[in-house]
Amino acid sequence: MTLVKGTVTFSMLAFLASGILVFSGCSSSPDEAELKQLNDLKEEYAELQKDAATLEQQKAALEKERADKNAQIKKCNEDQQVVRQRLGK
pLDDT of amino acid 69: 98
The rounded Cα 16 to chain-centroid distance in angstroms is: 32
CA–CA separation, 59 vs 87, rounded Å?
42
CA–CA separation, 70 vs 62, rounded Å?
12
pTM of the model: 0.53
Mean pLDDT of 49-61: 96
Instruction: Provide the pLDDT confidence category of residue 45 given band limits of 50, 70 and 90.
Output: very high
Q: What is the mean pLDDT of the chain?
A: 84
Mean pLDDT of 47-72: 97
Q: Please give the angle made by the CA atoms of 73, 60 and 51, to the nearest 5 degrees.
A: 145
Mean pLDDT of 64-80: 97
